[in-house]
Amino acid sequence: MNNSFFNQSLDGESIAERIRCLETGKVGFYSVGLYPASLAYNCAMQTNGASLLLAPRPDRELLGAFPDESVRGMDKEHVQTLIQMGTHRDGDQLVNNSLADLIKRCELVVLSANSNHVEEDLQEACRLREELNREEVVLACLAGSFCHDHIANESYVLCEKQPNLGFFSGFHRHGALRNPVDSFTANFCHPNALTAMLGARMLDRLSPNIQVSSGVHNVEGQYIKAAKNMSSIFAGFGYTYHEENPGVLPTLLTLLLDQCLDQAATVSMCRRDRQRLYNRQAIALTELGYGVQRIEAALVRDGDMQKVRDHTFAQLTAMVADVRGSMMLPVSGKPTRNFQAGQVLAHRMRHEQRCPSQIEEFEHWCDSAGLKKGGLEGLKALRYWPQIVRNYSIPVHDASMVNLLYMSIYGNPTTKDIAFSVMTESRQLTNYCQESVRPTHSRRYAEALQNIEVPEAMELLVNAVIADNARRAIPDEAFADEADSANEAPAYLKAMNVIENAL
């Protein structure tokens, strides 16, 4: 999919005219949920919404995502401005804008539906661009979850399938966006640095309260957004269940944040367009605000230093703030919906003294608390977690917290009992946080078997065989006490063993 503000022309005058057009161009949001409507309200307060257009989904109300009490608390003049952003005159009638209207009138269109609709919206937007001869309208998405192909039975982030798709993200609380003095940061990401810079400039002009910077990591950014929704559930659980044991929270929250970034780093290293991402840009990445072209971690393996991860996207401040903010209990207002789902999980697990019997029970708990499952992207992502782990080759020790959450909901009864003990006992959870981030020993031996021509690998296997033979030479009675002790392994070790074998 071509997705650029410019055609293939090499004519300087026409390019200059196009740049001037972008300076006054409009941004459109299609599918007006809580975030686009709240952002639009902020723009109505600050700029009269001059640069923003909205289009609700067919048969949806422009402010339908808000509870009635929230709508009643809005300023009537600002609501009228929102209506002007989302409608136009068709003869004597006032009608809602459509996706086609946005593509006709905007230079950047953000498809802001969740993962249930965003793929079909993208197909329709591409069709309309061609039909309306508006191929230079740039398309972006907001979707913060994984898409699922039911035919191939695989899960993925949309930007992986459509790597030229833009991605807009920033931390927000819907009530706070309607605060006239609060301010926010966001990122607009696109694999082409020039497109990212121009798109970020257009979004930055929407409101002086919203600072938007550019980045090139759309696939990684979308993965971080999707992974943090699951982590936010665990964060909400931790804050609520362990509110009287605050010592565990810093460890838990730090690990949840770090693992989101580490997983995204693994995704980044597997990109097919990785070389083009860095080496074929019209402007250097450092011109976008990155300190260096790449930030890569290194690992000692068999005596050699190997580069294993790309952390350049960690410099996208708004993206990291999004993860951190979604796992915080706010001073005022409500936390994110996924965080609230974690709070519900904590209350019900404390009351029932068990994990949910199945995902449907957890969804029922959330629904009873006023949280509709359609708005809980973290629960949907969790449903497909084993596929995501396999698709992106996420190491077990980089996803240990989400693995534990998954087992508490999808595990068998014995596994759920273990998960319950780890999640609800402060000491067990702290030990799990510390030990589960270590790479498994079995991986060392698996890699050694793949590289037996390497002297160090052969030495590792030989020593293992010698140790095993020495153990066999000792009478079984000598291990009786050890066996009894092994039967009483702590819950956090049992959880690690189950997860390593299952995932």
Specify the pLDDT at position 166. 96
Q: Residue 498 has which token pair?
A: 């189950």
Write out pLDDT tens, residues 14-48: 899 999 999 999 999 999 988 888 888 889 989 88
Q: Which pLDDT band, with edges at 50, 70 and 90, does 144 fall under?
A: confident
Q: How big is the chain by its Cα radius of gyration, in Å?
A: 25
Write out pLDDT tens, residues 263-314: 999 999 888 888 888 888 888 888 888 988 888 876 655 555 566 788 888 8
Q: What is the mean pLDDT of residues 86-96?
A: 89
Predicted TM-score of the model (pTM): 0.85
Angle between helices 218-241 and 400-410 (to 10 degrees): 60
Domains and CATH numbers, the chain: 12-215 (3.40.50.720), 232-439 (no CATH), 441-487 (no CATH)
In this predicted structure, the answer to whether residue 64 has a pLDDT above a threshold of 60 is yes
- CA distances for 276 relative to 136, 168, 271, 282, 372, angstroms: 21, 21, 10, 11, 41
DSSP 184-243: EEEEEE-SSHHHHHHHHHHHHTT-TTEEEEEES-HHHHHHHHHHHHHHHHHHHHHHHHTT
Nearest Cα neighbor of 144 from 110, 175, 195 is 110
